[in-house]
Amino acid sequence: MNTIAIDIDDTLNNYSEILHTTNFAFDENYNISRDTFDRYLEMIKNEKADRGDLLSAGFSFLRQKINGECYQSAVARPDAVEFMQWLRRKGWRIVICTHRDLRRTEEITRKWMRDNRIPFDYLFIAVDKLKFCKKWGIDYLVDDHLFSVRFADQYGVEVFFPTMAKHEGEGVRHSSLARGFTSFNEVRLWI
């Protein structure tokens, strides 16, 4: 049976667009000041961690809340839904690999997948998706993360990535095993 690993955020959906365009409301129940809320929100939108010696509980709590809102509001790419359903019809084993903290977001994630009619067999958190794929003998990975795009050769995993601005420009290196796509129909032809 053929197996493929697929990321969720910015691969199957428009997570970053939702993160950057949503006006998140300040809530006094967050137990942080409005200024701290604004500073933390900017850090979350720019994917920066809290710079303190200890990770701030306020920052972690707010990041979890903001991510949860984005996970629920993200819109599935129609071509991604079609591709995932095609994989199922063709008998592929589908492994969802995500950076999401599934201890806190598994229910939201599973609901989003069901609501968007996205089939899958397994759902895993994987910080290093290439290492995960290598360990489990998965030859194909669909992922937007730059690490996967840069280092696919070192792991012998074919990586397909939705082309985005972060994949272009000076200093951005691509592995010979990484191919960018604009539509999941291209990936269908490659596998």
Residue positions counted in the chain: 191
Q: How far apart (Å, rounded) are the C-alpha atoms in residues 47 and 41?
A: 10
Query: For the segment 124-149, what is each residue's pLDDT rounded down to a tens digit?
Result: 999 899 999 999 999 999 999 989 99
Q: Where are the domains of the chain?
A: 3-13+76-190, 16-73
Residue 95: name the closest of 74, 67, 124 by CA: 124
**How far is the first Cα of the chain from the last one, in angstroms, to the nearest whole number?**
13
Q: What pLDDT sits at residue 53?
A: 46
Instruction: Give the position of tokens 């137990």.
Output: 31
Which helix (H) or strand (E) is 141 found in, with range?
strand 140-142
Q: Which of 37-46, 143-152, 165-174, 177-186 has the lowest mean pLDDT?
A: 165-174
**This prediction's pTM:** 0.89
- The answer to whether 19 and 66 have CB atoms below 8 angstroms apart is yes
Q: How far apart (Å, rounded) are the C-alpha atoms in residues 164 and 181?
A: 9
Protein fold of 3-13+76-190 = Rossmann fold (3.40.50)
Indicate the residue type of 188.
R
* pLDDT > 70 fraction of the chain, expressed in percent and rounded: 94
Query: For the segment 12-23, what is each residue's pLDDT rounded down to a tens digit?
Result: 999 999 999 999
Instruction: Give the position of tokens 């792991």.
Output: 155
Quote the tokens at residue 161: 């990535």
Q: Please work out, in degrees rounded to the nearest 5, the angle formed at the alpha carbon of residue 131 by the alpha carbons of 122 and 93.
A: 25
